[in-house]
């Protein structure tokens, strides 16, 4: 009997999908596929090269300390994410950033990105930590827009590495609504899954560690309202990606329907549908899903 079926035959919902080792490889491939003939081809290829470098970096990333069983138990009891971004300053990601820059295929980068990558090599840790603090505080406008994707990419590797070490144990129940139960970051998009025990279920995808957690559909993933939710998409598109808009808090987050396109990937397909963001912004909704590979501004 699959884990998702209780002894009484009542299906239980798989509440949590841990991050995967292949997350960056899958993302790099999807970005490459999406880039073909796309209006944002250059940017998607840049993001693909960055994700490819992240995959290489993940392979060699040193084992980062993770909470022991007693600390995990404490997090469970208090509804705290075990790998919280609010904990002490993370160590080691700055060296990871340097390796990531080395792993980058510079031929795939626009000249401006090569210049920024070279600048970052000489950057001191204090400046990097300031960028990281702004990112975790949601103050994206405070980070130089050219640097942001590199900083975000390095931090993603650090957190994915830790989340992989914990696996299922990394999830804490009772974390604040709308935040990752592993690291406490906001989600980038939500995904309605297709096939198996998760058929038709909706999961939020962490912008940082790529863990996924279940949230019922037709519920605002920001304020939890179930009233006045609407779905906007671009006329003539295949409506595999929509913007879930909430009239209560006037925010939106994209929702990806895998039954319409099973190859979609959270960060890649978000980047490839920025035209939808423009449409939704014009309707007066504010975006709440940060994409760490996106240059803000």
Provide the minimum distance between the beta carbon of 110 and Zn ion in the complex, in angstroms, as a whole number: 29
Provide the minimum distance between the beta carbon of 94 and Zn ion in the complex, in angstroms, as a whole number: 20
Provide the minimum distance between the beta carbon of 181 and Zn ion in the complex, in angstroms, as a whole number: 8
The verdict on 249 binding Zn ion (CB under 5 A) reads yes
- The residue within the footprint of Zn ion, chosen from 66, 103, 114, 223 (CB under 5 A), is 223
Query: Which residues neighbour 3 within 8 Å (Cβ) at sequence distance 6 or greater?
Result: 14
Provide the minimum distance between the beta carbon of 189 and Zn ion in the complex, in angstroms, as a whole number: 13
The verdict on 220 binding Zn ion (CB under 5 A) reads yes
- The residue within the footprint of Zn ion, chosen from 28, 120, 209, 256 (CB under 5 A), is 209
Q: Running DSSP on this structure, what letter comes out for residue 75?
A: H
Q: What is the largest CA-CA distance in the chain?
A: 61
Nearer to Zn ion, 114 or 223 (CB): 223
The verdict on 23 binding Zn ion (CB under 5 A) reads no
Q: Which helix (H) or strand (E) holds 206?
A: strand 202-206
Of the ranges 102-110, 128-136, 246-254, 272-280, which one interacts with Zn ion (CB under 5 A)? 246-254
- The residue within the footprint of Zn ion, chosen from 118, 225, 228, 230 (CB under 5 A), is 225
- The residues of the shown chain that bind Zn ion, judged by CB under 5 A, are 180, 182-183, 185, 206, 208-209, 211, 220, 222-223, 225, 246, 248-249
């Amino acid at each position: 009997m699959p884990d998702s079926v209780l002894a009484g035959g009542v299906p239980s919902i798989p509440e949590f999908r841990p991050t995967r080792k292949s997350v960056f490889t899958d993302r790099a491939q999807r970005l490459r596929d999406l880039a073909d003939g796309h209006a944002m081809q250059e940017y998607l290829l840049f993001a693909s090269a960055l994700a490819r470098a992240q995959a290489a970096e993940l392979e060699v990333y040193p084992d980062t300390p993770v909470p022991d069983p007693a600390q995990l138990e404490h997090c469970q009891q208090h509804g705290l994410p075990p790998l919280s971004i609010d904990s002490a300053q993370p160590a080691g990601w700055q060296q990871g950033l340097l390796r990531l820059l080395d792993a980058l295929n510079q031929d795939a980068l626009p000249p401006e990105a090569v210049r920024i990558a070279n600048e970052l090599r000489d950057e001191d840790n204090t400046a990097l930590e300031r960028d990281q603090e702004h990112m975790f505080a949601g103050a994206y406008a405070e980070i130089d827009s050219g640097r942001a994707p590199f900083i975000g990419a390095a931090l993603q590797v650090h957190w994915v590495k830790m989340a992989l070490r914990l696996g299922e144990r990394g999830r804490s129940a009772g974390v604040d609504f709308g935040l990752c139960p592993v690291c406490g970051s906001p989600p980038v998009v939500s995904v309605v899954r297709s096939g198996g025990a998760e058929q038709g279920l909706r999961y939020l995808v962490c912008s940082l560690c790529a863990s996924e957690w279940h949230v019922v559909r037709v519920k605002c993933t920001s304020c939890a309202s179930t009233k006045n939710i609407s779905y906007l998409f671009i006329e003539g598109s295949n409506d595999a990606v929509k913007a879930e808009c909430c009239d209560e808090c006037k925010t939106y987050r994209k929702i990806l329907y895998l039954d319409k396109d099973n190859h979609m990937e959270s960060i890649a397909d978000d980047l490839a549908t920025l035209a939808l963001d423009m449409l939704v912004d014009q309707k007066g909704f504010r975006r709440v899903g940060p994409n760490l590979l996106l240059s803000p501004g």
